[in-house]
């Protein structure tokens, strides 16, 4: 749990530094492009989302076996 909190804290620090250096407009460009892609190509976005969900399930199954 501590390692996950450390990772999350590091991620937030990196996000803050990137926002300061690049600006929020630049950082928020990526999510806006993702949303635009979902609107234009819902089938492709669904396929990518399904693949991501399968990867998440595989990781959760792998963690249960280790514990």
pLDDT at residue number 67: 59
pLDDT at residue number 30: 85
pLDDT at residue number 64: 76
pLDDT at residue number 38: 85
Q: Is 19 exposed, middle or buried (CB count within 10 Å of its CB: 0-12, 13-18, 19+)?
A: middle
- For the chain, domain boundaries: 23-67
pLDDT at residue number 21: 94
In the chain (67 residues long), the average pLDDT of successive 10-residue segments reads 87 93 90 88 90 93 75
């Amino acid at each position: 749990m501590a390692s996950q909190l450390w990772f999350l804290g590091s991620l937030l620090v990196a996000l803050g530094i990137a926002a300061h250096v690049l600006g929020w407009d630049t950082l928020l460009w990526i999510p806006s492009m993702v949303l635009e892609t979902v609107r234009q190509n819902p089938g492709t976005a669904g396929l990518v989302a399904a693949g991501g969900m399968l990867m998440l399930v595989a990781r959760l199954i792998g963690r249960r076996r280790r514990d």
